[in-house]
Chains A and B, each alone.
Chain A
Amino acid sequence: MLGFGGGGRGGYARPGTTAVPDGVGKVVGVRVLAAMSGGVDSAVAAARAAEAGHDVTGVHLALARNPQTYRTGARGCCTLEDSRDARRAADVLGIPFYVWDMAERFQADVVDDFVAEYAAGRTPNPCLRCNEKIKFAAVLDRAVALGFDAVVTGHHARLGADGLLRRSVDLAKDQSYVLGVLTREQLSRSMFPLGDSTKTQVRAEATRRGLAVADKPDSHDICFVADGDTRGFLAQRLGAAPGDVVDGDTGEVVGRHTGAYAYTVGQRRGLHLDRPAPDGRPRYVLSITPKTNTVTVGPAEALAVSQVQARRPVWIGGPRPADPVECEVQLRAHGDVVPATVAVTGDGLRAELHQPVRGVAAGQAIVAYRPDPAGDIVLGSATIAA
């Protein structure tokens, strides 16, 4: 693996190739493409790759046809300002820098997919989809064809010489969840140099290296939803589709909605209910049924889920398990981690949760981890079906 983790920041080895020591124990001469968003993480990741002796080229991905339409300021990763920040970081590092136009692919594989998933009553994670389809697919494939050995990103996760993907040492910033969808093949050509550092350390290092993005705020929310109003973004694309809000217990119509796609399982606010529940307690979205354009609501305890079915599993922590595995699962980004038994079922998997979880939404990923003192190891992932 082309990782920085595991054996620490010196242990680089490539599968199937002979490592070339530079005389002081480092392995040099790997050509890597650094995906530079304009943020502090990817800038420091590129810097570390260059310092490790790799031949680094920086690339900023232009994901919007019209960059002004995406988030402005320091919050996104697709604005003209972000592009300039990335370019300036590359200047400081003394590496070549280019902008790659990925707008068409991003629109098709991430934005259109995002809208279609909501229309189908599911809750997609576009960052995860971008990793799966853009950064570690379209970009990685192009990089390899052009002669690069790997893509380096500023994700907070550890990828060791053992090829295992682990959580970052900074659990608050850990991004192993949104990388859990990557295949072993994709990971074998990836580098995550930040996994052994906390965000605070990364920022301090950026300052030390003279990178102007050292204090740039973290990006949040969805980069292509310009004003952060996901519901408005979906309404604009899917149009109004009024339907009933139904009580899960009684089947009674308790309200009207203007589009079922605007709701997410577990959502409490903005339900526009005509009347309070008889018991006066808050109600939550339990499910969305696109076929009947119905949003079903109920009390908090009805949200609790003890079993999860998922499809399209990817096993990266080892071979596809023949027997049920005791592990921990995470069901959404920054979500709770619960112990579970995960079993393979045909072309999917089933997870028996040892403690119920609320707000499990179809379309999100279930990522299975094996607890480990050196960082919890990602065993695999799948897309939650029900």
Chain B
Amino acid sequence: MAYLDHAATTPMLDVALEAYVATAREVGNASALHGAGRQARRRVEESRERVAAALGARPAEVIFTGGGTESDNLAVKGIFWARRSADRRRTRVVSSAVEHHAVLDAVDWLAAQEEAEVSWLPVDALGRVSPQQLRAELAAAADQVAVITTMWASNEVGTVQPVAELAAVAAEHGVPLHTDAIQAVGQVAVDFAASGVSALTVTGHKLGGPAGVGALVLARDVAVTPLLHGGGQERDVRSGTLDTAGIVAFAVALETAVRHQQEYAARVAALRDDLVTRVRQAVPEAVLNGDPDDRLPGNAHFSFPGCAGDALLLLLDAQGIACSTGSACSAGVAQPSHVLLAMGADSARAGSSLRFTLGHTSTPEEVDALIAALPEAVDRARRAGSLSASR
């Protein structure tokens, strides 16, 4: 099998798996006051320090959550609610047109349920958000903006955003900027303090940890209203019994991924570049989407004109090659990618896309397998595509 869908989820690192199993054997609620509880709490706090150190944050800035979607929701809704409560004029949200649905739909929800006014920053053809656009947006009415949320790197097309520049613009106006860095941590250098962002989302299963655990790194001066109320864990921001084993494994994975990031990125980017070159040789009409230079090392995202992405996926799947159409599914049906549409693609091009993402277990043999299967798959998918187009 060729697993080319690491951006969806990547295998757990052995060290993380071992740490998980070892911790899961221990009993103790991290909030309990006895010895077993203190032991669990110690593991959580050590993990918090590891995550903080790896991300250039302070331990007190790390809030463990149930994963990326929760962190994004907590940041977007929580900061919006807190800032609007402090000042009723702050009813605006600024975001980008290429966010993951965990941000996109949270922002849409604020618009629908909380009467938030939303400014969607456009992107260029490579999927980049422009700091100038943000500056223009804030120049108009910065005092009405509750929160800015714009991702670090695109889960679909792999484009890495100028996050530090965006954060600097936000800072000029004193507006907190949240960034979804789920795809970035372990892939590119991520330093919370140096980036200047106020909040940052990270999750375990994209970097070799378990699914269902992540963190929101939140600057100490940024107030947030909780989504979950209860026992008051995590600075009263995120109630719920701490998943000690999950947190330990997440921290080990994150620390390992960040420590090896440079050599990982060099190795995987070389493999990815080989994949891109050979896809283009095999299918000359294929179009690489996203920024050719500032992109995640493991991401290759193509449009195959005349093909339906889901047909290609089926045909490659039958050959044991796992990849993704890259866009969100509704009841199993891939929807046209809002990211590609925002980048100026028409719906035909958006629907003809396929994402191949490499990771820490990727091998040249997997790329070989893709290249061996791709031409026939494209040929068949094109025949099927011309069929539906002609009706």
A residues near B (Cβ < 8 Å) are 57, 60, 62, 67, 80, 83, 87, 96, 98-101, 105, 138, 141-142, 145-147
Q: Mark B347-391, 1 if CB is under 8 A from A, else 0.
A: 000000000000000000000000000000000110110011001
Structural contact, B388 and A142, CB atoms closer than 8 A: yes
Task: For the complex of A and B, list the 4 residue pairs with the smallest distance between their C-beta atoms, beginning with the closest.
Answer: A99-B332, A145-B384, A101-B333, A145-B383
Structural contact, B333 and A145, CB atoms closer than 8 A: no
Contact of A138 among B310, B383, B388 (CB under 8 A): B388
Taking CB atoms, residues of chain A closer than 8 Å to B332 are 60, 62, 83, 87, 98-99
Residue with the greatest number of chain B CB neighbours at <10 A, chosen from A99, A100, A146: A146
Taking CB atoms, residues of chain A closer than 8 Å to B331 are 62, 67, 80, 83, 99
* B165 on the A face (CB < 8 A): no
CA distance A141 to B383 in the complex (A): 10
Taking CB atoms, residues of chain A closer than 8 Å to B333 are 62, 99-101
Shortest Cβ gap from B91 to chain A (Å): 30
Taking CB atoms, residues of chain B closer than 8 Å to A80 are 331
A146 with B310, Cβ < 8 A, contacts A101-B333, A138-B391 known = no
Structural contact, A147 and B387, CB atoms closer than 8 A: no
> How many A-B contacts at CB < 8 Å in the complex?
47
CA distance A100 to B388 in the complex (A): 13
Q: Mark B284-326, 1 if CB is under 8 A from A, else 0.
A: 0000000000000000000000000011001101100000000
Sampled A-B contacts (13; CB under 8 Å):
A57-B314, A57-B318, A62-B332, A67-B331, A98-B310, A100-B333, A138-B388, A142-B384, A145-B380, A145-B387, A146-B380, A146-B384, A147-B315
Contact of A146 among B334, B381, B391 (CB under 8 A): B381
CA distance A89 to B331 in the complex (A): 16
Shortest Cβ gap from B5 to chain A (Å): 15
Taking CB atoms, residues of chain B closer than 8 Å to A141 are 384, 387
Taking CB atoms, residues of chain B closer than 8 Å to A57 are 314, 318
B308 nearest CB neighbor, chain A only: A142
Taking CB atoms, residues of chain B closer than 8 Å to A99 are 331-333
CA distance A62 to B333 in the complex (A): 8
CA distance A138 to B317 in the complex (A): 22
A33 nearest CB neighbor, chain B only: B314
Residue with the greatest number of chain A CB neighbours at <10 A, chosen from B314, B317, B332, B388: B332
Taking CB atoms, residues of chain A closer than 8 Å to B381 are 146
CA distance A96 to B313 in the complex (A): 12
Structural contact, A146 and B388, CB atoms closer than 8 A: no
Taking CB atoms, residues of chain B closer than 8 Å to A60 are 332
Shortest Cβ gap from A83 to chain B (Å): 6
Contact of B314 among A67, A83, A98, A138 (CB under 8 A): A98
CA distance A11 to B380 in the complex (A): 29
Taking CB atoms, residues of chain A closer than 8 Å to B310 are 98, 100-101
Taking CB atoms, residues of chain B closer than 8 Å to A105 are 391
B312 nearest CB neighbor, chain A only: A146
Q: Mark B180-201, 1 if CB is under 8 A from A, else 0.
A: 0000000000000000000000
Taking CB atoms, residues of chain B closer than 8 Å to A147 are 315, 380
CA distance A75 to B384 in the complex (A): 32
Further pairs besides A57-B314, A142-B387, A145-B380: 18, Cβ < 8 Å: A57-B318, A62-B331, A83-B332, A96-B314, A96-B317, A98-B310, A98-B314, A98-B332, A99-B331, A99-B332, A100-B310, A101-B333, A101-B334, A105-B391, A142-B384, A145-B387, A146-B384, A147-B315
CA distance A141 to B384 in the complex (A): 8
B386 nearest CB neighbor, chain A only: A145
CA distance A328 to B381 in the complex (A): 44
Residue with the greatest number of chain A CB neighbours at <10 A, chosen from B311, B315, B331, B388: B331
Shortest Cβ gap from B323 to chain A (Å): 14
Taking CB atoms, residues of chain A closer than 8 Å to B334 are 101
Shortest Cβ gap from B63 to chain A (Å): 33
Shortest Cβ gap from B330 to chain A (Å): 9
CA distance A105 to B318 in the complex (A): 26
Q: Mark B10-38, 1 if CB is under 8 A from A, else 0.
A: 00000000000000000000000000000
CA distance A105 to B380 in the complex (A): 21
CA distance A119 to B20 in the complex (A): 65
Taking CB atoms, residues of chain B closer than 8 Å to A142 are 311, 384, 387-388
Shortest Cβ gap from A47 to chain B (Å): 19
CA distance A145 to B390 in the complex (A): 13
CA distance A197 to B384 in the complex (A): 34
CA distance A141 to B385 in the complex (A): 10
CA distance A146 to B334 in the complex (A): 18
Shortest Cβ gap from B358 to chain A (Å): 23
A137 nearest CB neighbor, chain B only: B391
CA distance A96 to B315 in the complex (A): 11
CA distance A57 to B383 in the complex (A): 19
CA distance A98 to B388 in the complex (A): 18
Taking CB atoms, residues of chain A closer than 8 Å to B384 are 141-142, 145-146
CA distance A60 to B317 in the complex (A): 17
B383 nearest CB neighbor, chain A only: A145
CA distance A98 to B317 in the complex (A): 11
B333 nearest CB neighbor, chain A only: A101
Shortest Cβ gap from B99 to chain A (Å): 23
B334 nearest CB neighbor, chain A only: A101
CA distance A364 to B384 in the complex (A): 32
Taking CB atoms, residues of chain B closer than 8 Å to A83 are 331-332
CA distance A327 to B79 in the complex (A): 76
Contact of A96 among B318, B383, B391 (CB under 8 A): B318
Taking CB atoms, residues of chain B closer than 8 Å to A98 are 310, 314, 332
CA distance A141 to B387 in the complex (A): 8
Shortest Cβ gap from B353 to chain A (Å): 15
CA distance A41 to B149 in the complex (A): 49
Shortest Cβ gap from A291 to chain B (Å): 31
Shortest Cβ gap from A95 to chain B (Å): 11
